[in-house]
Amino acid sequence: MAAWYLLSARAVTVFLLLSLPRFLQAQTFSFPFQQPEKCDNNQYFDISALSCVPCGVNQRQDARGTSCVCLPGFQMISNNGGPAVICKKCPENMKGVTEDGWNCISCPSGLTAEGKCHCPAGHILGTVAHTCNPALWEAEVGRSPEFRSSRPA
């Protein structure tokens, strides 16, 4: 019995000595990983590829850095995520874009750095006509004591 144990121990040792070099030469795989913060302004972080990918023409990365949006002065025509955004230049008399980026609008008071309409103090950008309108809630309803508790924060 002891001879059988000694023989099997030697067989295991020989097997390990012969196969160990093969295990040590096994291939290892790695891929470069970039962090979203490392992407340039004209790139977005592609989650599926774990890398920075260029945005299309007239585009930059969005606020989260995971997709592209149109540059100021350009409106979105379609948006299928990532670089699959199509932008079109706004007409000369309508350089601004709506908050969602889908429509060009005129901005008599000028534009912000992001290409959004700048409204004078006490005015808000209308959601239908996309013009600067007096902030009626604060100016009218907000003055009345019975409505103050229901004012939006």
What is the domain extent for residue 61? 36-93
Indicate whether 113 belongs to any domain: no
Chain centroid offset of residue 69 CA: 8
By DSSP bridging, strand 132-134 and strand 123-125 are antiparallel
> Cα angle at 86 between 80 and 87, to 5 degrees?
140
Residue 27 lies inside a defined structural domain of this protein? no
pLDDT of residue 55: 92
| pLDDT over threshold 50, residue 153 | no
Give the pLDDT confidence of 67-124 residue by residue, as tens digits: 898 998 899 999 887 668 899 999 988 888 887 888 888 877 777 776 677 777 777 7
Domain membership flag for residue 110: no
- Say if 138 falls within a structural domain: no
pTM for the model stands at: 0.58
Q: Where are the alpha helices (DSSP H) in the chain?
A: 2-24, 136-139
Q: Which residues contact 55 (CB under 8 A, 6 or more apart)?
A: 42, 43, 44, 61, 68, 83, 85
Q: Are 93 and 118 in contact (CB under 8 A)?
A: no
Instruction: Report the C-alpha gap between 110 and 95 in whole angstroms.
Output: 9
Q: Residue 50 domain-assigned?
A: yes
Question: In terms of Cα–Cα distance, which of 129, 128, 130 is closest to 116?
Answer: 130
Query: Residue 76: what pLDDT?
Result: 92
Quick check: is 57 in a domain? Answer: yes
Give the three-class secondary structure for 74: strand
Q: Domain for residue 42, yes or no? A: yes
pLDDT at 35 over 70: yes
Beta bridge partners of 53: 44
Domain count, the chain: 1
Q: Quote the pLDDT of residue 91.
A: 92
Instruction: Name the residue type at position 1.
Output: M
Whole-number pLDDT of residue 118: 76
Q: What is the pLDDT of residue 134?
A: 73
- pLDDT at residue 101, rounded to an integer: 86
The verdict on residue 41 lying in a domain is yes
